[in-house]
Structure 1
Amino acid sequence: MTPWKGGSSAAGFGVVATFAGITRHHDPDPDENPWVHGPPAPVTVRIVPHDPAWPRRYRELASGIRAALGAAVLDLEHVGSTSVPGLAAKDVIDIDLTVADPRAEEAYVPALERRGYVLTIREPSFHEHRCLTLAEPRVNLHVFGPDCPETIRHRLFRDWLRAHPGDRVRYQEAKLAAIPGGGTVMDYNARKQATIREIHDRLFRAHGML
């Protein structure tokens, strides 16, 4: 297996992200209950035109996270649709936070809670993923460990959409087509998954990963 370029030994996990790990579509254990405070209620997903203020909002949020956590922050990245200029999105900022070990919740959760974040998801089967949410402004703060394949996938997908307007349009069309049907945000995400995987396949092949 070819290691991810730039990867280093993952503290607490003892692995380096590989091309095989990055290109594998890793799903959480379906029998795992990820909801810290119970499952979410159905919502109406609303997609809005790209807001040029989103990057600035991310920078302000990132500054607050760094102030709260200090050296515990190994990396922060603006990911998701709000990080792609020109792409319509839900008005929710997605952020990837890398810490030494997501399982050590005491190292980051209490400090973030004091800033209004709520630990919402805990998924040990999915790279020890945690997600904290903020109600205002709306934020999904995803927590992973070093060299996590999922954070690499998020960055590759973001950068690909920034550089490839055709796939950016395809993804936006898939997002809009996924709204009818209602349900939870996870239902909406599932309806656009096929398009996401088609784009992943193209970008992985372009990077020589497949």
Structure 2
Amino acid sequence: MKNRKLPRPDVTTVELIGGPERVEVALHSYDDRWPDVYQTHRRRIEAALAPTRVEIEHIGSTSVPGLAAKPIIDIVVAVEDTTAEEDYLAPLIAAGYELRVREPGRRLVRTPARDVHVHLYERGDHAVEEYLLLRDHLRANAADRALYESTKRTLLSGQWEDMNDYADAKTDVILAIKARARAARGAS
């Protein structure tokens, strides 16, 4: 029998380091500097995690040219094993990121200024594919891009006690857009 790595147990609950945070962020018009900010952090993450092989992608609204967004750069990083935090968490913290969320299959680190969120998943996790599906569809489909932006504008006109509640409120629209993205992908 080959030496096979046994999976480690993962956390079973969501740990929100620092507790809930009030959302006081408005949408900003698309900023041509956002891709450069992403590239800067991509290099920072690659340097921190070298020589480990990771996959890094710019996701979220700031990754879609022309889409208004909260000025927070979202990055997804696919690592070999999210439970092996010693392989990535300490190097990212040393590179200036802070742990914000620890939950089953996912970790989130961010900058102290809270303007860059790095979502860490295991390579092959379906969530990564979903982020890319939404991003790529919004980049290509002006009608869904406008729908998504108007939904965000409407939601951000209200008050949110926690950023996670705002994110949850977008779920139905995101699911509908992703369904159209899958249909469009299947038709091509």
Output aligned runs, 1:1-210, within 5 Å.
32-35=13-16, 37-124=17-104, 128-136=105-113, 138-179=115-156, 180-208=158-186
- The change in CA–CA distance for 1:71 and 1:188 in structure 2 (over 3 A counts) is same
- Aligned partners of 1:146 and 1:63: how far apart in 2? 19
Q: Offset of 1:64 from its aligned partner?
A: 0.9
**How many equivalent residue pairs?**
179
Normalising by structure 1, we get a TM-score of: 0.80
Q: Tell me by how many angstroms 1:73 deviates.
A: 3.6
TM-score for both structures, normalised by structure 2 = 0.88
SS in 1 for 2:51: helix
- 1: CA distance, partners of 2:137 / 2:108: 24
Which one-letter code corresponds to 1:116 in the other structure? G
Assess if the C-alpha contact under 8 Å between 1:120 and 1:132 holds in 2. Answer: yes
Displacement, 1:123?
A: 1.0
Taking only aligned residues, the RMSD between alpha carbons, in angstroms, comes to 2.1
Report SS of the residue matched to 2:137: helix
Contact kept in structure 2, 1:97 and 1:143, CA below 8 Å: yes
Contact kept? 1:81, 1:158, Cα under 8 Å: yes
| Distance in 2 separating the partners of 1:156 and 1:200 | 7
Output the CA distance in 2 between the equivalents of 1:58 and 1:137: 14
* Identity of matched residues, %: 35
- Unaligned stretches of 5+ residues in structure 2: none
Distance 2:53 2:112 in 1: 22
